[in-house]
């Protein structure tokens, strides 16, 4: 067994996964669809774990999502080619089997992954012990797993290139002329529009949206207005009347714990919040 | 490389090790970056606790001609503190991701250090004199009653014990939504770039309140995201050229003169996949973890999970050389995926001087180095095509004893002194290595220790 990357308490589940991945690596006789299923399950489990984190690692999430997509594509092609759809893996069973952990493994994917067989009509033989421990994952489940993790990674409070930030104080930034960098005008306009929504934030509510099924319910809510990259002409002038911004500034605490550099960001935050509140309240 | 070999071969010897001896590693002590300055006199490390420790090479002792100066602690300071972003309810880690030195212009030294979100320019200066003989202050700092002053004197500078001070000169903040993975100083020494997962920004060292976005690969819809930026570096000679690598194993070379936003690359370096090696993990292991230009700027080196590749900037469709770091792991990818080791980001580096003066001639030697597991690190000699595996460990390491080459037994019968793949310790990884710019001295970081090796001077 290979050493673990990090010290952590191994649950039964994790031990069984480690056992399976060793089997994957060492066994040449594992049928390909089973290997694929195993990898898929591992990917989805990881994605599910990442969703629970406050800040999932974007790099890893993308790599895992791509692996799921790749498997998904393969399975789709297979199901298109064959008139009768076959999927590997069947009803979970608690058989113990030789050569593996005999703790009565029934791999339960975290809630939200459907156990329905959407494509299946023909069942394989139940004799292969490894098959017994793998659950089927439908195409929809894979897609929703990918999209939900990537959606969560979209930091709506996205600081797009801060070219629209008001320079602090009298400091006129003296960018040396000889570098020859010029912002194109249309690019600047785009960023100006983005700045309206640039620092608005919807709280990342993964803490109570653990269930993929719940995500599906919210899918049809249009959050495009809160998307920082959505470029539409602002409903109100980007710089709200100064009265509206000054008042909240006095009562609102500093946005994060770093230095006073952020005061200018907070100011933009507040005018956006103000703006959104007005829309929501409908005044 | 070491042992029986020609005169060109380097024989590496243990020189020093820095850091705690005990096996229980404190999280904050985990080394996260290692970098020599331009002269090689200073060696900086950053750790997970946000600290920077700088070692200085002592001046060569004329009597001890058989070894180069040792590195001793020169300065230690807290570069970054943990922060809490209240809007997003996120902790911002203080871990130092990268340190880059500026070339020395005056008595002080400058370096850039960065965590996930904020880059800081630090000035490290020495103070070895202090003024004494104030008129209005006593020596201990208490103020004197002005009415008691009867004569005036001019304060003079007197020597004092050397004090090294680090002070933050610039703080470049709030330009990155995603985690910063690279910083690179331009050859103009006035600007630098910082790269996160989706964007690259260009800064002027004097200006902290704005940066220019030069690369943005964020899609309009995040669900369409399939690729992230993993590393970026400026060309060593051409101040308008930089490269960035991706999680799909591609490298893009961009020219800032072409347009303000370098979304279109000038060159795209990508090697077609070898169909015989295809697996579920092919894409993951193709993700590039580091990219480094050669000193001449003609080549660049990339590191992915299993190999090191050398690219000629004039050839985009495949690397000119590929070196296998630990091919025996290819059959263990599923287990390495399961325990997340497959996501480990190994760095790589070139040797310092491209040339060495030999007895009768000047010859070019070119060696690249990278880390592996079990505290092993690998070196590949591009001229002789020989490679060597060495181990950074406190055992079996006596000063001036040549390091013994190690060998991993991939399969079959394990010979004496070989280590089997299954006994490798995957918790002991060498991710960060650095090579002195002028001499054959290397710094190798294990989890919480810094090893310094030198070549044996006869």
Between B187 and B88, residue with greater pLDDT: B187
Enumerate residues 6+ apart whose C-beta is below 8 A from B180: B97, B98, B114, B115, B116, B117, B119, B194, B195, B196
- Tell me, yes or no, whether A105 lies in a domain: no
pLDDT value of residue B337: 96
| A24: nearest Cα among A11, A15, A14, A37 | A37
- pLDDT for B162 beyond 80: yes
- Boundaries of domain holding A69: 31-80
**Which of B222, B326, B408 to mutate to test binding with chain A, by most A CBs within 10 Å of its CB?**
B222
pLDDT value of residue A120: 37
pLDDT digits (tens, 9 = 90+) for B189-210: 999 999 999 999 999 999 999 9
Between B281 and A17, residue with greater pLDDT: B281
pLDDT digits (tens, 9 = 90+) for B414-426: 788 899 999 999 9
Q: How far is CA B85 from the centre of its chain?
A: 28
Q: Indicate yes or no: CB of A59 within 8 angstroms of CB of B228.
A: yes
> Mean pLDDT over all residues of chain B?
91
Instruction: Please tell me if residue A244 touches chain B, with a CB cutoff of 8 Å.
Output: no
- Tell me, yes or no, whether A76 lies in a domain: yes
**Searching chain A, which residue's CA lies closest to the CA of residue B85?**
A256
**Which residues sit opposite B369 in a β-bridge?**
B349, B379
Asked if the B13-124+171-455 domain carries CATH number 1.10.8.80, the reply is no
Residues A62, B343 contacting (CB under 8 angstroms): no
- Tell me, yes or no, whether A67 lies in a domain: yes
Give the closest of B176, B188, B222 to A150, CB-based.
Answer: B222
Helix (H) or strand (E) holding A9: none
pLDDT value of residue A217: 58
Instruction: Please tell me if residue A269 touches chain B, with a CB cutoff of 8 Å.
Output: yes
d(CA B442, CA B430): 13
Instruction: Give the mean model confidence (pLDDT) for residues B440-444.
Output: 96
CA-to-CA dists, residue A100 to A4, A75, A97, B157, angstroms: 19, 27, 6, 77
Instruction: Please tell me if residue A27 touches chain B, with a CB cutoff of 8 Å.
Output: no
**Which residues sit opposite B407 in a β-bridge?**
B418
**Nearest-CA distance A283 → chain B (Å):** 25
Which three-class secondary structure state does DSSP give residue A249? helix
Give the closest of A5, A59, A265 to B174, CB-based.
Answer: A265
- pLDDT for B169 beyond 60: yes
**Searching chain B, which residue's CA lies closest to the CA of residue A44?**
B338
Residues B107, B98 contacting (CB under 8 angstroms): no
Instruction: Give the mean model confidence (pLDDT) for residues B84-102.
Output: 91
d(CA A99, CA A278): 65
- pLDDT for B444 beyond 70: yes
pLDDT digits (tens, 9 = 90+) for B223-280: 899 999 999 999 999 999 999 999 999 999 999 998 888 778 899 999 999 999 899 9
pLDDT value of residue B8: 57
Between B176 and A113, residue with greater pLDDT: B176
pLDDT value of residue B313: 97
pLDDT value of residue A252: 40
- pLDDT for A138 beyond 70: yes
ipTM reported for the complex, 2 dp = 0.90
| B329: nearest Cα among B267, B394, B373, B280 | B373
Enumerate residues 6+ apart whose C-beta is below 8 A from B264: B258
- pLDDT for A184 beyond 50: no
- pLDDT for B67 beyond 90: no
Q: Can you say whether the dihedral through the CA atoms of B122, B123, B128, B134 is positive or negative?
A: negative
Helix axes A58-81, A139-152, angle to 10 degrees: 160
Confidence band for B403, pLDDT divided at 50, 70 and 90: very high
pLDDT digits (tens, 9 = 90+) for B34-44: 999 999 999 99
Angle at A272 between CA A268 and CA A273, to 5 degrees: 115
**Searching chain A, which residue's CA lies closest to the CA of residue B426?**
A3
Q: Indicate yes or no: CB of A39 within 8 angstroms of CB of B280.
A: yes
Q: What are phi and psi of B202, to 5 degrees?
A: -110, 130
pLDDT value of residue B29: 95
d(CA A67, CA B152): 79
pLDDT value of residue B250: 97
Supply B406's token pair. Answer: 């190690």
Confidence band for B90, pLDDT divided at 50, 70 and 90: confident
Instruction: Give the mean model confidence (pLDDT) for residues A28-53.
Output: 89
- Tell me, yes or no, whether A58 lies in a domain: yes
The mean-pLDDT minimum among A123-127, A163-167, B66-70, B107-111 falls in A163-167
d(CA B55, CA B41): 8
**Sheet containing B31-36, strands listed edge to edge, beginning at the edge strand earlier in sequence:** B31-36, B42-47, B51-57, B71-78
CA-to-CA dists, residue B393 to A6, A172, B13, angstroms: 20, 53, 12
- The count of other CB atoms within 10 Å of the CB of residue A237 is 10
Q: Indicate yes or no: CB of B204 within 8 angstroms of CB of A175.
A: yes
Instruction: Give the mean model confidence (pLDDT) for residues B6-26.
Output: 82
**Sheet containing B199-204, strands listed edge to edge, beginning at the edge strand earlier in sequence:** B182-185, B191-195, B199-204, B207-216
Instruction: Give the mean model confidence (pLDDT) for residues A93-100.
Output: 34
Confidence band for B64, pLDDT divided at 50, 70 and 90: low
């Amino acid at each position: 067994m290979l050493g673990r990357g990090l010290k952590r308490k191994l649950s039964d589940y994790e031990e069984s996964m480690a056992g399976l991945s060793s089997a994957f690596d060492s066994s040449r006789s594992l049928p390909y669809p089973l290997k694929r299923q195993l990898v898929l399950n591992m990917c989805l489990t990881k994605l599910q774990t990442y969703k629970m984190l406050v800040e999932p690692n974007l790099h890893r999430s993308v790599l895992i999502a791509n692996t799921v997509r790749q498997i998904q594509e393969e399975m789709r092609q297979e199901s298109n080619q064959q008139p009768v759809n076959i999927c590997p893996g069947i009803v979970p069973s608690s058989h113990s089997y030789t050569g593996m952990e005999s703790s009565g493994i029934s791999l339960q994917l975290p809630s939200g992954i459907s156990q329905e067989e959407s494509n299946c009509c023909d069942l394989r033989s139940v004799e292969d012990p490894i098959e017994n421990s793998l659950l089927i994952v439908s195409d929809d489940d894979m897609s929703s797993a990918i999209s939900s993790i990537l959606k969560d990674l979209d930091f709506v409070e996205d600081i797009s290139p801060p070219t629209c930030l008001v320079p602090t104080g009298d400091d006129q930034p003296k960018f040396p002329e000889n570098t020859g960098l010029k912002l194109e005008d249309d690019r600047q306009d785009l960023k100006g529009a983005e700045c309206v929504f640039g620092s608005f934030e919807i709280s990342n509510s993964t803490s109570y949206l653990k269930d993929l099924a719940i995500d599906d319910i919210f899918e049809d809510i249009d959050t495009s207005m809160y998307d920082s990259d959505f470029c539409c002409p602002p409903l109100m002038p980007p710089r709200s009347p100064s009265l509206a911004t000054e008042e909240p500034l006095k009562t609102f605490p500093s946005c994060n714990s770093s230095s006073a550099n952020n005061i200018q960001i907070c100011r933009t935050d507040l005018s956006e919040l103000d703006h959104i509140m007005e829309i929501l309240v409908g005044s | 490389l070491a042992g029986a070999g020609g005169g060109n071969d380097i024989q590496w010897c243990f020189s020093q090790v820095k850091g705690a001896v005990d096996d229980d590693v404190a999280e904050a002590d985990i080394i996260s970056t290692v970098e020599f300055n331009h002269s090689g006199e200073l060696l900086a490390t950053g750790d997970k606790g946000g600290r920077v420790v700088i070692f200085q090479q002592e001046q060569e002792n004329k009597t001890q001609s058989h070894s180069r100066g040792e590195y001793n602690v020169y300065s230690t300071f807290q570069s970054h503190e943990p922060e809490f972003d209240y809007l997003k309810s996120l902790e911002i880690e203080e871990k130092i991701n990268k340190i880059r030195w500026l070339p020395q212009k005056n008595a002080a030294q400058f370096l850039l250090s960065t965590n996930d979100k904020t880059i800081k320019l630090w000035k490290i200066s020495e103070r070895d004199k202090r003024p004494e003989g104030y008129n209005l202050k006593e020596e201990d700092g208490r103020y004197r009653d002005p009415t008691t002053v009867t004569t005036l004197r001019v304060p003079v500078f007197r020597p004092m014990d050397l004090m090294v001070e680090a002070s933050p000169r610039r703080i470049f903040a709030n330009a990155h939504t995603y985690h910063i993975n690279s910083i690179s100083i331009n050859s103009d020494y006035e600007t630098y770039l910082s790269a996160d997962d989706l964007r690259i920004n260009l800064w002027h060292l004097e200006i902290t309140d704005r940066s220019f976005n030069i690369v943005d690969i964020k899609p309009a819809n995040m669900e369409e995201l399939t690729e992230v930026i993993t590393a970026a570096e400026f060309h060593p000679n051409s101040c308008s050229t930089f490269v960035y690598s991706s999680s799909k194993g591609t490298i893009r070379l961009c020219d800032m003169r072409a347009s303000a936003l370098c979304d279109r690359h000038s060159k795209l370096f990508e090697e077609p996949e070898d169909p015989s090696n295809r697996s579920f993990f092919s894409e993951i292991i193709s993700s590039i973890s580091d990219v480094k230009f050669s000193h001449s700027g003609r080549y660049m080196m990339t590191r992915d999970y299993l190999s090191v590749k050398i690219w000629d900037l004039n050839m985009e469709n495949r690397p000119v050389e590929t070196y296998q770091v630990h091919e025996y792991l290819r059959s263990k990818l599923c287990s390495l995926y399961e325990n997340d080791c497959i996501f480990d980001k190994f760095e790589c580096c070139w040797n310092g001087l491209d040339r060495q003066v030999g007895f009768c001639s000047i010859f070019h030697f070119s060696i690249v180095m990278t880390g592996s597991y079990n505290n092993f690190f690998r070196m590949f000699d591009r001229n002789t095509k020989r490679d060597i595996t060495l181990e950074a460990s406190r055992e079996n390491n006596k000063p001036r004893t040549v390091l013994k080459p190690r060998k991993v037994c991939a399969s079959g019968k394990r010979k004496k002194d070989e280590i089997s793949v299954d006994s490798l310790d995957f918790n002991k990884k060498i991710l960060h290595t650095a090579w002195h710019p002028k001499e054959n001295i290397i710094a190798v970081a294990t989890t919480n220790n810094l090893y310094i090796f030198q070549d044996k001077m006869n």
